[in-house]
């Protein structure tokens, strides 16, 4: 029985092969109605440039993750001038990771590029990512923030601690400050689709699959409208979700903390024994006993909470519930031109 997966037949280092497979750009959205027309206009222009520069046929997959404004209505009215447009509407808000997976599942082209719907991921950078894929043969081209100088010190320190903990003892390191704005070659996208877990952490999984990877630093554009929905509490929740979904580092921290506490208790016991046998002193004991009990109790509760997070993940995997439901789906394809490749036209018609 073969326990691995062979995606070698999807190698697309040759420009011609890559162009025939095309590119799907997945854009998860949550209440982005105000800025969506402007973003689509930029992506449509991008599609023309990719066609001229690389011969790529481009598809935009908009995934509406349970928006409460007019995002879905706006998305369904977007024109398909230079790019094919697919709109996937989820039945409720399942979270960004589920929306990314929905876009990956419904992408009809070979390569897949993920970018946010708030306009902070610059479409002008996509040509650079595509160039590294087609010209240089990279399978994963990911972006990372060039710096965090404009962020509060506490947030910078928290991000540093998160990546240090996430990569502690891990074979597949997650690049610091990497974003979801990344391109996957056809075989990298195929590999990512074959990962069966339901608690997904895309940044980690995209690094775990391996292949040739390239980092591109960038500075996020300012938001075109509104404010971010990622509050401090939600960021902490996402960090915990990512850690427990992709890493066993919290369990190692719990084990290390338990070992340190046991060592401290042993040394404290030795000091009491020394005072009693050598100096003849008797420790009153009430304060030290209470502090010791509270310390041990707190550490035990912390460890139980960490183990509980992992048990919850196991329960979620055992239930095998779908990670999303699609409520509506629409497709608008660009009018096929005579010079289009016959294989691509047939594939589009079949789908």
- Does any domain span residue 241? no
Residues 218 and 277 both lie in one domain:
no
pTM above the 0.85 mark?
no
Is 132 a domain residue? Answer: yes
Q: Based on the fold, state whether residues 105 and 45 are members of the same structural domain.
A: yes
CB 313 within 8 A of CB 198: no
The CA-atom distances, in angstroms, between 190 and each of 27, 43, 115 are: 18, 24, 18
Distance of CA 101 to CAs 95, 202, 309, Å? Answer: 10, 9, 22
| Phi-psi map region of 66: left, alpha, beta (phi>0 left; psi -120 to 50 alpha) | left
**Nearest of 323, 324, 322, 321 to residue 90 by alpha carbon:** 324
Q: In this structure, are 14 and 145 located in the same domain?
A: yes
Residue 344 has pLDDT above 60, yes or no: no
Higher-confidence position of 70 and 222: 70
Going by pLDDT thresholds of 50, 70 and 90, the confidence category of residue 88 is very high
Residue 100 and residue 194 in one domain: yes
Cα–Cα distance between 232 and 313 in angstroms, integer? 23
How far apart, in whole angstroms, are the C-alpha atoms of residue 162 and residue 93?
26
Show the domain range for 279.
249-319
Of 21-30, 122-131, 293-302, the poorest mean pLDDT is in 293-302
Pair (41, 131) in one structural domain:
yes
What per-residue confidence (pLDDT) applies to 93? Answer: 87
Query: How far is Cα 180 from Cα 26, in angstroms, rounded to an integer?
Result: 11
Does residue 179 share a domain with residue 40?
yes
Average pLDDT for residues 165-188, to the nearest whole number? 75
Within a domain: residue 239?
A: no
In this structure, the answer to whether residues 80 and 200 fall within a common structural domain is: yes
Residue 153 within any structural domain of the chain: yes
What per-residue confidence (pLDDT) applies to 240? 64
């Amino acid at each position: 029985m073969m326990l691995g997966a062979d995606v070698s037949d999807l190698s697309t280092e040759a420009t011609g092969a890559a162009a025939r497979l095309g590119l799907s750009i997945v854009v998860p959205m949550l209440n982005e109605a105000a800025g969506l027309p402007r973003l689509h206009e930029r992506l449509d222009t991008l599609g023309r440039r990719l066609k001229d520069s690389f011969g790529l046929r481009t598809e935009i997959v908009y995934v509406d993750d349970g928006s409460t404004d007019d995002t879905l209505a706006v998305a369904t009215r977007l024109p398909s001038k230079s790019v094919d447009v697919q709109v996937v509407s989820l039945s409720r808000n399942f979270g960004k990771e589920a929306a990314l997976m929905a876009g990956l599942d419904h992408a009809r082209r070979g390569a897949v590029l993920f970018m946010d719907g708030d306009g902070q991921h610059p479409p002008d950078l996509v040509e650079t990512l595509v160039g590294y894929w087609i010209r240089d043969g990279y399978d994963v081209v990911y972006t990372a923030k060039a710096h965090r100088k404009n962020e509060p010190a506490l947030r910078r320190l928290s991000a540093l601690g998160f990546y240090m903990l996430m990569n502690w003892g891990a074979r597949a390191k997650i690049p610091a400050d990497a974003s979801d704005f990344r391109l996957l070659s056809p075989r990298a996208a195929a590999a990512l689709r074959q990962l069966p877990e339901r608690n997904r952490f895309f940044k980690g999984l995209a690094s775990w699959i391996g292949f040739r990877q390239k980092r591109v630093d960038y500075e996020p554009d300012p938001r075109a409208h509104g404010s971010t929905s990622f509050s401090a509490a939600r960021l902490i929740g996402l960090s915990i979700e990512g850690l427990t979904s992709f890493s066993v580092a919290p369990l190692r921290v719990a084990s290390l903390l338990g070992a340190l506490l046991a060592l401290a208790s042993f040394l404290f016991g030795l000091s009491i024994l020394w005072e009693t046998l050598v100096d003849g002193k008797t420790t009153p004991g009430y304060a030290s006993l209470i502090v010791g009990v509270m310390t041990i109790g707190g550490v035990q509760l912390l460890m139980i909470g960490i183990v509980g997070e992992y048990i919850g993940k196991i329960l979620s995997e055992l239930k095998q519930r779908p990670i999303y439901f699609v409520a509506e789906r629409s497709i608008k394809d660009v009018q096929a031109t005579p010079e289009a490749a016959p294989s691509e036209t047939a594939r589009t018609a079949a789908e």
